[in-house]
């Protein structure tokens, strides 16, 4: 009654290791070992078992494996959104960063779990960590969560954050030299003969604050007094920022240059300026921050402070894996570089 010929695939599509074991006439452990390439099993038998698994389309069930091994071979990439859940993942900088991270993580044969999370609810980070869906975490941007990150960092090591270097920071961060970037931008504009330079950008997040600081530093070095009327808080998205800039324009404050917190805001500024009949860079020179792909192709091409995303992503993933291995890898500052294009000269 035990015809091996009918001991074939059961319930099509839900093979388990026991099925393969039966077909191969060995125990489950042997299959497990064979599939893991364990040299304890003679090569011939190993190949035979792998062959059987392959022809029947059997693959180890990762849920079971993850539970047993207490690891998932997965990295969580979390995108903190500050406001309501409605906010979309459309920011080009985020998208480029996600692509870069995915490349780096995939290269190490780990999977990427994308987590968009609204950070207004306390315990959001603990929840992600304790769900045990990932072996490590990369956060794109620290948002307003410096304190929350610090609190968690003490007990949860495999975590790396893209963002600003802050005093008293106990979590591992990778980010650009924002202050220097801001300074470079202003120095460039001053060198191009501009003196009434506006700052456009959000002010709540640390990175923005540092770029603003660099802006003021640049002004100071040039001997130009900081004029609060030229510091314009803007939202992050292109459309919203453009409306804000348009409103600022109609307020009639005089200025001949703009340093924007990001390329997206810079593009918004160019849009608003053009719509108002001001010429870029003739009437107003514009410098952005990030060097997203768009910057090179915009009209006019955008002068910007370049952040090397490939470097940043690689650094983050490197540090993360070292932390996952138990090392106490420290924060890194990525260099920035001014890229001069048509929007400022």
Partner DNA sequence: CTGAAAGCGCTAACAC
Partner DNA sequence: GTGTTAGCGCTTTCAG
Give the residues lining the site for a copy of itself (CB under 8 A).
Answer: 12-13, 15, 54, 57-64, 66-67, 70, 72, 74, 85, 88-90, 92, 94-96, 98-100, 102-103, 106-107, 111-116, 123, 126-127, 130-133, 155-156, 267, 293-294, 297-301
Distance CA 41, CA 56 (A): 21
| 29-50 core/surface letters (b: 16 or more CB in 10 A; e: else) | ebbbbbbeeeeebeeeebebbb
Distance CA 227, CA 229 (A): 5
Please give the span between the terminal C-alpha atoms of the chain, in angstroms, as a whole number.
87
Nearer to DNA, 68 or 297 (CB): 68
Window 43-102: residues binding DNA (CB under 7 A): 45, 60-61, 63-65, 67-70
Token representation of residue 286: 């514009």
CA 157 to chain centre: 18
30 touching DNA, by CB under 7 A: yes
The minimum distance between CB 19 and DNA, in angstroms, equals: 8
Nearer to DNA, 26 or 189 (CB): 26
Q: How do 74-81 and 159-162 pair as beta strands? A: unpaired
Query: Sign of dihedral through CA atoms 315, 318, 323, 328?
Result: negative
| Element of type H or E holding 296 | helix 293-297
The minimum distance between CB 271 and a copy of itself, in angstroms, equals: 9
Distance CA 185, CA 268 (A): 18
Residue 254 interface partner, choices a copy of itself, DNA, none, CB cut-off 5-8 Å depending on type: none
Count interface residues toward DNA (CB under 7 A): 26
Nearer to a copy of itself, 25 or 99 (CB): 99
Nearer to DNA, 58 or 162 (CB): 58
Nearer to a copy of itself, 83 or 107 (CB): 107
Distances (CA, A) of 315 to 26, 223, 235: 45, 37, 28
Neighbouring-strand partners of residue 167: none
The minimum distance between CB 56 and DNA, in angstroms, equals: 12
Token representation of residue 218: 């640049």
User: Pattern 289-308, binding to DNA, x per CB under 7 A?
Assistant: --------------------
Residue 55 interface partner, choices DNA, a copy of itself, none, CB cut-off 5-8 Å depending on type: none
Nearer to a copy of itself, 126 or 213 (CB): 126
The residues of the shown chain that bind DNA, judged by CB under 7 A, are 14, 16-18, 26-30, 32-33, 35-36, 40-42, 45, 60-61, 63-65, 67-70
């Amino acid at each position: 009654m035990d015809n091996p010929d009918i001991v074939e695939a059961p319930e099509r599509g839900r093979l388990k290791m026991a099925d393969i074991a039966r077909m191969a006439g060995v125990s489950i452990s042997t299959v497990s070992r064979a599939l893991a390439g364990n040299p304890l099993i003679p090569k011939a038998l190993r190949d035979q078992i792998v062959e059987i698994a392959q022809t029947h389309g059997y693959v180890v069930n990762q849920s079971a494996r993850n539970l047993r091994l207490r690891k998932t071979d997965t990295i969580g990439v979390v995108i903190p959104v500050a406001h309501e859940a409605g906010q979309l993942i459309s920011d080009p900088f985020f998208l480029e960063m996600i692509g870069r991270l995915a490349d780096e993580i995939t290269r190490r044969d780990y999977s990427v779990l994308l987590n968009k999370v609204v950070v207004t609810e306390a315990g959001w980070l603990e929840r992600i960590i304790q769900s045990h869906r990932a072996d490590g975490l990369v956060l794109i941007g620290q948002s307003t969560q410096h304190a929350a990150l610090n609190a968690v960092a003490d007990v949860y090591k495999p975590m790396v954050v893209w963002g600003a270097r802050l005093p008293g920071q106990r979590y591992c961060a990778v980010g650009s030299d924002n202050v220097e970037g801001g300074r470079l931008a202003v120095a460039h504009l001053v060198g191009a003969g501009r003196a009434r330079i506006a700052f456009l950008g959000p002010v709540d997040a640390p990175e923005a604050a540092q770029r603003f600081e660099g802006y003021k530093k640049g002004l100071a070095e040039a001997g130009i007094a900081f004029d609060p009327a030229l510091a314009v808080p803007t939202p992050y998205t292109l459309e919203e920022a453009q409306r804000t800039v348009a409103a600022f324009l109609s307020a009639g404050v005089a200025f001949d240059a703009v340093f924007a917190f990001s390329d997206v805001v810079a593009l918004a500024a160019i849009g608003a300026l053009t719509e108002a009949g001001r010429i870029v860079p003739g009437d107003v020179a514009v410098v952005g921050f990030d060097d997203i792909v768009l910057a090179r192709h915009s009209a006019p091409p955008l002068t910007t402070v370049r952040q090397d995303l490939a470097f940043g992503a690689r650094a983050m993933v490197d540090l993360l894996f070292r932390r996952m291995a138990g090392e106490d890898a420290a924060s890194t500052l990525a260099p920035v570089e001014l890229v001069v294009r048509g929007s400022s000269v």
